[in-house]
Structure 1
Amino acid sequence: MTADLSPTPAPQLSPTRRAFGVYIGRFEPPHLAHQAVMREALEQVDTLILVIGSARAARTTKNPFTAQEREALIRAMLTEAGVDPARLRFVAVRDHLYDEGRWLAEVRSGVQAHTGGSADVALIGHIKDGSSYYLRSFPDWDFLPTHVISGLSATAVRRALFERRLHDLGGMVPPAVEAFLREFYPSADSAALRAEYEHLLACQAALDPARTPPIAVTAHAAVTRAGRVLLLRRGVHPGQGNLALPGRELLPDETLVACAARAAQLDTGLDVREFMGADATSTGLHAAWLAGQVFDAPDRSPRGRVVAHAFPFNLGSGPLPDLRPGGDAAQALWLPVPEALGSPELFFEDHHAILEELLARA
């Protein structure tokens, strides 16, 4: 695929040069269209601040590269194109699927750390669909529309990488990025991602195309005791090796909170009812139900449309019960809460965000 990156006819941009420009993206990985937008922006601003999203997350087929890797790639491809790297600044922000205000605050504070309080800031982008909503979320920053229009997407680049079509990369990414991808390809991380990609393709192929893709409903348990949280390490794809909360799909004859309790027992060998007293099926589970939350970001899972319900079970203090992993769990463990909250890059899908939300409410 060769991208057409020639600017389309458009009104002339204001001749006023800005002190700072902000370009927000995931850049998974950065490609020729990204490079063209950045070079166009640098013709209109003195300093370009690149906000790299989906930072500090486990590698997935959607987000295969770390924020540090993406920053290095952007620096390399722009330097290769003759850009002075002193004109670049970087901000890495995490995804906050269930707290948009927190995401906006992280972007704003990261940018302000580079602008020194200057109000001479412009936001660069192209409003193409609902995914561009964030371009309207910073009303105090002037908007500079890009004139670079291209059908190229990072999704196509990732597919070429996972489908072993390295010969297609040259028409989609700058030379510095292609060199990195070819070096990354034989790595253990790349092999794990290819295996996960093939697993997801097999799951999609198993769906009946004549039917609407099913919506799965799952329930998860966030069990805490003595300052630790109960987690499992996944032993299967997707997310093999990542930490996750115990969870199961809802059965026709059970409540959501009962499903979460069942998941904890099947995945880790821990029966939370034993710690709730004789009324475990009424008052104890009802308290957990009252504190539960729904997590329904449409793209929260690469497996398809999965709506998750999660419930906190606080088992108080005392000795930590022995665990026995089961199901998809390769390991069950008690992790100190601060360590779990401080390690979003170790978690499966949005389970870290779920844990953050539940513990914040608790």
Structure 2
Amino acid sequence: MNTRAALDGAVYVGRFQPPHAAHVGSVVQALGALGSGGRVLVLLGSANLARSVKNPFTPAERAFLFRAALQEVGADTRRVIFRPLPDRFDPPRWAADVRAAADAVFRPGARLALVGLEKDASSDYLRWFPGWARLEVAATPGLNATDLRAALLTGQPLPAEVSPAVARQLSVFARTPTAARLRREWAAVDAGRTALASTALLHERRWLRVEGGEVWLNHRAGPIGQGLWELPGAVLLPGEPVPAGGHLFDHPARALLKPTAAQVVPGPAPRPFGARPVHLEVALAHPRNFHEDHGVIVARLTGRETPEVQGR
């Protein structure tokens, strides 16, 4: 595209859980297309979500891995900027966060391009930024982050195509208590998906009780999301009637097991569910202590959702 030389920079959005050869190649291609003065902003998605089998690494860990892999291939990492990006489970809010992050790094009105490969429905976001150019990147067959996570969390050898720098760090991570917990979660999620293979959509009922500056939360006891906060309530068994009312949260990527629609009702739950009060400010300050999107739900329904997210 003839306008690339006039661009101020490029924006590359992804979860990068973990970064792999295709991600590295995309940044290298973008740096080359921009010329010597252009910079690439890499936005590390799901930055507000807890560690899980889908998102095992923190934003800081992903930035470290990505930078190491770029250095390994000789890329100029001084021209690559990493920033965390929260999940909103709401496309307009999420797109606004991307634009705000770009404005903070470049400047409002900068001439930018979005880096990406249009491959399936997950690439729809590439059309959400009118006014931005597009930097198409070449497809890299074979390796993908899903396969990498599967190998890491099932004890299989890492694919040979993994960057040596990334492979070394993943091998260290595999020996940590965090990795052991995620291996248990992987097994539970895999078993749950098998058991629910014939169920297209799950439903859950949750209650949001906020009184006196406190929010009532459970600590999860099972292997999926163990120890994390969640709103009291439960996933309904297949065939159970779906109650009406409440606020609906039904983003297809919000739940780990299966697409799950949550109906969240303000007020106390009809039975205790083991919930205990947590200071609302404390809860909102630790979004990565929540299971799935429960922290997003609490922030949104209490009017406290903001674009800021900690990069830790």
TM-score (norm 1): 0.77
Aligned to 1:114: 105
Moved more, 304-313 or 197-206: 197-206
- CA distance in structure 1 between the partners assigned to 2:299 and 2:142 by the alignment: 37
Aligned residue number for residue 286 of structure 2: 343
Q: Which residue is 1:153 aligned to?
A: 144
Quote the Cα distance in structure 2 between the aligned partners of 1:178 and 1:204: 28
Find the counterpart in structure 2 of residue 135 from structure 1. Answer: 126
Deviation of the 1:203 alpha carbon = 1.9
Letter in 2 for 1:299: A
Please say if 1:169 is aligned against 2:123.
no
The CA deviation string for residues 285-334 of structure 1, in whole angstroms up to 9 with x for no partner, is xxxx4xx211111222122132211111179xxxxxxx9764xxxxx421
**Which residue in 2 is equivalent to 1:284?**
none
Scaled by the length of structure 2, the TM-score of the pair is 0.88
4+ residue stretches of structure 1 with deviation over 6 A?
251-255
Match of residue 70 from structure 1: 62
Contact 2:207 2:268 in 1 (8 A): no
Structure 2: where are the runs of 5+ without partners?
305-312
Once the two structures are superposed, residues 214-259 of structure 1 have per-residue CA deviations (whole angstroms, 9 ceiling, x without a partner) of: 53221101112211000011111210010000012448887737xx
Structure 1 stretches of 5 or more lacking a match?
Answer: 1-12, 258-288, 316-322, 327-331
Quick one: distance in 2 between partners of 1:63 and 1:253? 30
Assess if the C-alpha contact under 8 Å between 1:121 and 1:141 holds in 2: yes
Aligned match of 1:199: 188
Name the count of aligned residue pairs. Answer: 298
Give secondary structure in 1 for the equivalent of 2:8: strand
| Distance in 2 (alpha carbons) for counterparts of 1:75 and 1:255 | 47
Identify the residue that residue 329 of structure 1 maps to in structure 2. Answer: none
1:190 aligned residue (176, 179, 188): 179
Q: Helix, strand or coil for the counterpart of 2:74?
A: coil
Secondary structure at the counterpart of residue 44 of structure 1: helix
Tell me which residue corresponds to 1:126: 117
Alpha carbons 2:44, 2:83 under 8 Å: kept: yes
Q: State yes or no: 1:42 paired with 2:31.
A: yes
Which string of whole-angstrom CA distances, capped at 9 and with x for unpartnered residues, describes residues 259-301 of structure 1?
Answer: xxxxxxxxxxxxxxxxxxxxxxxxxxxxxx4xx2111112221
Aligned partner of 1:227 in structure 2 is: 213
Q: d(CA) in 2 for partners of 1:214 and 1:127?
A: 26
Alpha-carbon distance in 1 for matches of 2:220, 2:146: 25
Q: Aligned to 2:262, which of 289, 298, 308?
A: 308
Q: Find the structure with the greater CA-based Rg.
A: 1
Quote the RMSD (CA, aligned, Å): 2.3
The aligned counterpart of 2:229 is: 243
Q: Do 2:215 and 2:280's aligned partners in 1 also have CA atoms closer than 8 Å?
A: yes
